Amino acid sequence: MTIVRTAPTHEVGAERLRAVRVLLDDAFDGTFSDDDWDHTLGGVHAWAEDERGIAAHGAVVQRRAVHGGRSYRVGYVEGVAVRADLRRRGLGGAVMAELERVIDGAYLFGALGASDEGAALYRARGWLLWPGRLEALGPGGPVRLADEEGCVFLRPAAGRTLPGPDSPLAFDWRDGDVM
């Protein structure tokens, strides 16, 4: 049985956070940037460990999204990875279950940007591909994120509904990859 622990960033501890960063660097073949790391911090982390260290990790951070003239508080999933020797054994799903529990308790809906490799996990867990236009609320106004369209998944929090694709979904601006 896998035990997944959760804690806000400030309670995870510096040593464990360094180990998570190593996992993410390895899992993303060195393309996990400092901005990506910054996006992963400041929310709630879920992780599993074994005798070799961090086995799986994910985090959910708060972001704002605007849709149809309304601002939504969104739980945005970041930094999901499973150590290479343990993939396809349910650890990703166990981490996601804890992150979804956080989303259900604190946010209107969850969102994430999925890689091609990760999309199957999210679909299997009931996450839905956002079919509409994506934007970011940049320093100079709205910026279309056409390259991200077709990669962003949403999940309603328990008892909630998702916004429809009739209007763009515009996320708050951040350095690095906006999504």
In the chain, what are the domain boundaries? Answer: 5-172
Of 148, 90, 146, the C-alpha closest to 114 is 148
pLDDT at 112 over 80: yes
pLDDT in tens, 3-49: 999 999 999 999 999 999 999 999 999 999 999 999 999 999 999 99
* Tokens 């890689």 belong to residue: 115
63, 74 contact by CB (below 8 A):
yes
* Per-residue confidence (pLDDT) for residue 2, from 0 to 100: 76
Sign of CA dihedral 149, 80, 25, 36: positive
Amino acid 64: pLDDT? 97
> CB-based contacts of 41: which residues, under 8 Å, 6+ apart?
9, 17, 59, 61
Which helix (DSSP H) or strand (DSSP E) does residue 73 occupy?
A: strand 70-82
Q: Is the pLDDT of residue 170 over 70?
A: yes
pTM confidence score: 0.95
User: If pLDDT is split at 50, 70 and 90, which confidence band does 56 have?
Assistant: very high
**Mean pLDDT estimate for the chain:** 95
pLDDT given at position 1:
61
User: Could you tell me the pLDDT band of residue 116, with boundaries at 50, 70 and 90?
Assistant: confident
Question: Which listed CATH number (1.20.1300.10, 3.40.630.30, 3.40.50.10330, 3.40.50.2300) goes with 5-172?
Answer: 3.40.630.30
